[in-house]
A and B are shown apart, each in its own frame.
Chain A
Amino acid sequence: MARGDEAAYGLVYAQLAGHVIGIARSVLRDPAQAEEVAQEVLLEVWRDAARYDPHRGTAKAWVMTLAHRRAVDRVRSEQAAADREQRAAKLEVSYDVVAETVAARLDAEQVRRCLGSLTDLQQESITLAYYRGFTYRQVAALLKVPVGTVKTRMRDGLIRLRDCLGVD
Chain B
Amino acid sequence: MRRFRVRGTDPHTLAGAYALDALGASDRARFERHLSGCPACAQEARGLQEATARLSDTLATQPPEGMRERVMAAAARTRQNPPAARPARAGSAGWPGRRWGIALACGVLAVAVVVGGLAFHMQQQLNQDQSRSRAIAAVLNAPDAAMMTVAASRTRGSGTIVMSHQAHALVFTAARLPSLPSSERYELWLMGSSGPRAAGMLPAPRAGMTAPVIVSGLRSGDEFAVSAEPASGSRHPSSPMIMKVTLPS
Contact = CB atoms under 8 A, between A and B. Distances in A.
Of residues B21, B82, B115, B116, which shows the largest number of chain A Cβ atoms within 10 Å of its Cβ?
B21
Contacts of A100: 62, 148
Given A64-B56, A111-B57, A158 B71 contact: no
Interface in A1-29: 1-23, 25-26
B105 A9 contact: yes
Interface string B128-167: 0110011011001100010111110000001010100000
A136 B101 contact: no
B3 interface: no
B71 A43 contact: yes
B22 A46 contact: no
Task: Please provide the 3 A-B residue pairs with the shortest distance between their CB atoms, ordered closest to farther.
Answer: A22-B59, A10-B140, A155-B16
Interface residues of B, number: 86
B15 interface: yes
Given A67-B56, A155-B16, A135 B64 contact: no
Contacts of B48: 155, 158-159, 162
A1 B181 CA distance: 41
Interface stretch (B106-114, B184-192, B232-240): B106-114
Contacts of B148: 100-101
Contact of A7 (B52, B83, B115, B133): B133
A65 B53 contact: yes
Interface string B16-48: 110111111000000000000000000000111
Interface in A82-105: 95, 97-104
25 contacts: A2-B101, A5-B99, A8-B103, A8-B136, A10-B162, A11-B173, A13-B68, A14-B145, A15-B147, A46-B74, A47-B78, A47-B81, A48-B80, A50-B82, A50-B118, A55-B92, A60-B111, A95-B59, A100-B148, A101-B149, A104-B60, A108-B57, A136-B22, A136-B23, A162-B48
A156 interface: yes
Of residues A23, A101, A102, which shows the largest number of chain B Cβ atoms within 10 Å of its Cβ?
A101
Interface in A23-63: 23, 25-26, 31, 35, 38-39, 42-43, 46-61, 63
Contacts of A21: 61, 63-64, 67
B84 interface: yes
Contact of B80 (A5, A115, A168): A5
A54 B107 contact: yes
A6 B62 contact: no
A1 B107 CA distance: 22
